[in-house]
Structure 1
Amino acid sequence: MCHKAEPFFRWLIATFLIALLAACAAPKYTVDDGRQVDETLLGHIRSYGQGEQALRPAIARTAALHDTECDTQWELPFSVASSDDWSDDDRVAWVRALGVDERLTVVAVVPDSPVQLGDKIYGIDGYSKDNAEKMLLELADRRDTGRPFKLKLASGKVAQIEPFKVCRGYARLAPPNSPQTQDYHWLLSVHPLEITQVALTDDEALWTVLWTQGLSEEGGARMKTYHYGTKIAGTLYNIFTIASGIKGAAMAADAAISAAQTAATTVASEIIKKQLIDQASAAAASRMRDEVLGAARKLTQQQVMGAMQASAANRGALMGVAWVASTVFEQADAWAYARLEQLHADPLAGFRLHQKLIEKGLVSNAMVLDPDRMAALDKVAQGKGRGEDVVAILQGIKPQELIEALAEMPVASANNGFSYDDPVDMANSTQPFARGLIDGMLGMPVASRE
């Protein structure tokens, strides 16, 4: 009897050992264990997710333009994120905020997407690695072929993915760990996370995407003349176009911000000093006019003027390729306005987004109009018979009144003009981010996918 039982026990022990080895070999992914995490980071991750979920459908809407005159690129019907390489606490924050772990996790989709929010990507046309960067590079390569490919999800489902073509100019968000990052380039623009904090409407998100594409179309030649980088495949830039929230992107963003701050400390100090003087002078003048215009409205107009001054300062502080891009912000506004009309969307969405941002004091971004841009875009709207609608959006304040009031202020205009002979490239070539985050990432290769 005992001899008959031995094979069974040997089988039982072998089965147990195999199961134990399999459990040990299986990847372990982060779960929310309830620990305390950085609440500020948690908020930024949530803002990042909300922004991605607003921008991704807007990107898909622009495909309907079928613009034969613009340079083009391929996009995916979803966006992903990964917490790979982050600290233990930060990985828990990603899980808690968006359900993202070390695997490529879907965080935004277009309508009728073949994948859904929260899906985990296991394989890309048969390619599968436990390294997020390698998976992102593969995903970018598949996207850029423009051909359909298959994704295998952790659930076992296989989804057929079809990239779609849009005008050049990726619209991407700053990494949650470096939320103030902004950079503007003919290939890609990075918008700070603060633009997501006003609950973007569909048309406001569309304005943001079209403006980014317009910046590429209207300013590409200037930016390429200033500095042209040719290496794209296999670089950090390539990964950033797929998932701007990964650790490598955040570290690069921090380095780029540090480089810009070091180079612009004196300039920024002078801009701030002028702003304070101007705002104090304007406040004194407003008190003198209270009897005529009324204190309530004057306070509102003063706040608007201060916000537009801050926007001008933000634009004036851009450096590297972004400085060149800033010289065509007005043209990008007009380009976006015209395309919104073509898509039967609200062409005044740019004014609406501007107003929402300044009401919350969020002015360190390119979506807030400075005086020059306000004047130019208002002229476009006036030509379309929408002048009164613009005044209504701006809560009864006429753009011309603002422009006249701001005209005498020394930092009211941020546009210094552009010349191909202007020796603007004074950056130290040994600093990888001297010309901006995007330009720096173009020169940063990442590990092989093998």
Structure 2
Amino acid sequence: MTKQEFLRKINDIKAQNEQKKIRGFNDYNIFSTLHKDSDEVNLHSRFIHSLLDPSGKHNQGTIFLDLFMRSCSLDEFKIDINNAKVTREDHNIDILISDEVNSKYIIIENKIYAEDQKEQIQNYIKYIYDELDEKADIYVLYLTLYGKKPSDASLGKFKLDGNYLKNGKEQVKFKSISYKNDILKWLNECRVEMQNLLKFDLIISQYIDVVKSLIGTYKNSISDSLTDFLLTKENYKYFSRNKDRDEFRIYENDYEGATKQIIENFLNDLTGKINNELKSYGVIAENIRGERINDLDLIEVYTSSTHRFWELAEGRKCILFRVYSWQHGNSKNGLYIEIINNYNMPDEDFTQKQRFIGREIFGKSEGKRERQFHYQKILPLTNGNIWELADIIINDDNFLNTIFDVINAYIIEHVGIVRTINKNLEDKKFAKKFVEGKITRKELEQYEQ
């Protein structure tokens, strides 16, 4: 195929898409038109607050707040939503739900791409105790795209211990929640509740599209045909070889979309293969890759369904397998299978000790990769980014099976001991010994029996 023929096909698809627009197909979104998709303050916090506020202009009372409490499994906090007041940017708190009659307060800290501020959450808690209610019962919800935990700097003197933040005798409830799971679940339930009110259905649907765009699951109604064209092996390889030429640069967004889709399809296939072929080992695999172009946290593998979405699992302690791409411009670059901590363990120095614990229990890892219990490089990479990975996937028809075979062997080798650790981590004495690196492989084998 000549360059002219290839570009003519792309231009033909673009022309067809223009005709679709004329006939009414479009991706017009009022939220994205007015704000960047990632605008935490002016888009996301403002819209979420507008629904949660019982006195808001939606005139639906407590319906949205009640659905939010249920979607995020907050029923046990027993806030009286009929007495609830929902405010935004009160002392810089993104969203604050207050039940002053019962001294209950829910802090929602909304983070998309912004970094945590020093002692941010600590200051919010202090403000409620000092200025609003010294006997307050506080619940902190840390909202991110995928449910990650807050930084130690943000927590200040508080330490995350399971589903609590603790500072001496002070303790408040804590939960990481995500746009990917909790917010989308809530929004879809809001749509169901409002299904007879077309205005609300359209508004909430458009906001759902913004959230899906952020987490990489939104399907563009216009450019899908061009993405499909570029997903064809020959077409993608041709474009990849020519992407730096001037005539091709105007299509770089379409190329990026196709690249993301190649990675997503591969990860879905690999996740499915792990779940199907390792079913007898009781493991659960989850595709966790972020939307951002070079975010290569790829797949997590849990030894029990109760450990799935570990950041949201009510502080459940566990260790897990992860497939991850390391990219730091040196010989460490590559695709890895690892055993990692889920960060719900006690002891602030735990992370520094992981490599020593791992060496004792799982054996020495090859290379110099740090802060993991154990790891194995399963694919050397030059750059470690998704462009390189997508090229490998496209060019090697057997790549899925090759990578799976290595992951399969690694998980089978270690899954028994990982499961034994996870079964015993709820025991405080065991967890303390494990965190301190005092559990030996021989002792773990006795626990297995």
Taking structure 1 as the reference length, the TM-score comes to 0.27
Per residue, is there more strand in 1 or in 2? 2
Relative contact order, higher structure (CA 8 A, sep 6+): 1
TM-score by length of 2: 0.27
